[in-house]
Amino acid sequence: MISTTHGLILAAVLFALGLTGLLARRDVIFVLMSIEIMMNAAGLAFVVAGARWGRPDGQVMFLFILATAAAEVSVGLALILALFRRARTLDVDAANRMRG
């Protein structure tokens, strides 16, 4: 039996890793993957909380997150393709033409 605390710590570590990747990575595919990691960290937190109180809500929420992640990946990959066609690169910093 894994304690709730351990599960939440794992979720927090995963979320922090994903956030770091999001802020530090310049390759747009890695940015997308970091977002996936963060979403799964959130899903893990839901599952752990559901197990803590013995209710199915947490797992239902995780299924929702999986569906959202699938939709997000399809839109995200389309955006990446569009970016590549326009800029001929996958560097997010290249897409900075909308400066104020």
Where on the chain is the footprint of other proteins (CB under 8 A)? 19, 22-23, 26, 31, 92-93, 95-100
d(CA 56, CA 46): 10
User: Which tokens go with 65?
Assistant: 């997150």
Q: Which is nearer to other proteins, 22 or 51 (CB)?
A: 22
Q: How far is the CB of 79 from other proteins (least distance, A)?
A: 11
Amino acid at 91: D
3-state secondary structure of 91: strand
In the complex, what is the shortest distance from the CB of residue 95 to other proteins, in angstroms, rounded to a whole number? 7
Instruction: Give 21 or 43: the residue with its C-beta nearer to other proteins.
Output: 21
DSSP annotation of 56 reads S
